[in-house]
Chain A
Amino acid sequence: MNLDTLTWLLEGLLERTPGARHALVLSRDGLKLCHSASLNKDSADHLAAIAAGVQSLAHSASVEFGAGPGAGGVRQAMAEFYGGLLFIVEAGHGAHLAVITSEEAEPGLVGHNMNELVEQMGEHLSTPPRAATGSV
């Protein structure tokens, strides 16, 4: 699956999700992989860094207060702020999907559509670890 196909899938998600404004796929270390046309490069870079941080903190919360290491994990991280909502779900190995919606969006539907999209993208989304460049 190439980047154009991924971007097309993201645009499709925005179209069928009322209130959805932006969609972005990012690597777990906070770099954008692809995003909807509604985001410019700078906003996409910023959202990628934010989403990686939120998702990582959510994971720490799951380890500390959830089912514990190994059994836990983050299903979805969500932030509700004046002017919008932010949703993040895991999307394949080493990647996350982030969506920004308006305040009026229906969280259940947004989450459902995001998970559906992640299934469609499937394995194609994996962002492998960097190749070894030095001694381990």
Chain B
Amino acid sequence: MHSTTSEPPAPDAAPVPLLATAEQALKIAVVGGFGVGKTTLVRSVSEIRPLNTEETMTRAGDGVDDLDGVEAKRSTTVAFDFGRITLDATSVLYVFGAPGQERFWFLWDRLFSGALGAVVLVDTRRLADSFYAIDRLEAQGTPFVVAHNDFGESSHGLDEVRSALDLDPGVPLVRCDARERDSAKQVLIALVRHVRSLVTEGSR
């Protein structure tokens, strides 16, 4: 098959139709380094069949795509992921997952345009991979939260992660397991809360 996934796909739940009452569409970008779990997060939160553009990693990538820490990775996103989740009766989140490797960074501009905010996923095995995403979001003034994807096992305190990333105290940092729907959903909720609080502060 053309499209393969690195882990078994979530059981095909019946797609949830868009509520007729939905009037607020909010665009969210999910960014971060290569292999940190962006596709997994979009896949686990989406209530519609997510758009995946994962391709099998080929031998052409030996020496280009560094698999240290993510040795079991078999496929990689070459365009973007897309999913949708209903927040409440009126708000719907459209979640766009960015590709991680440098050769696809040119796509990020389009993904960020019109985005309300972003989630930066980090993996403590490869923290340095997230610097580019954080720098870029700070430079363009897009609100974001950082989510430490610990795959269910936490070996680092959030304080350690915060200081290693040299994160601004105003940026929320949360822990998540991108494979778990509820956990991934909490990350999106943290982002929406953060954006709302920024809006409220700004209007004072």
Contacts and interface: CB of A to CB of B under 8 A. Distances in A.
A complexed with B: yes
Interface of A: 27-33, 45-46, 48-50, 52-54, 56-57, 59-60, 63, 69-70, 73, 94, 127-131, 133-136
Majority-rule SS of B interface residues: loop
A27 B60 CA distance: 7
A127 B60 contact: yes
A130 B59 contact: yes
Nearest to B65: A29
19 contacts: A28-B55, A29-B58, A29-B61, A29-B76, A30-B78, A46-B103, A49-B78, A52-B55, A53-B99, A53-B107, A56-B3, A57-B79, A59-B53, A60-B53, A129-B57, A133-B67, A133-B71, A134-B72, A136-B72
Contacts of B109: none
Interface residues of B, number: 30
B204 interface: no
Residue among B54, B64, B99, B103 facing the most chain A CB atoms (10 A cut-off): B103
Given A29-B61, A45-B103, A135-B72, A129 B56 contact: yes
B78 A52 contact: yes
Contact of B56 (A28, A54, A133): A28
B57 to A, nearest CB: 5
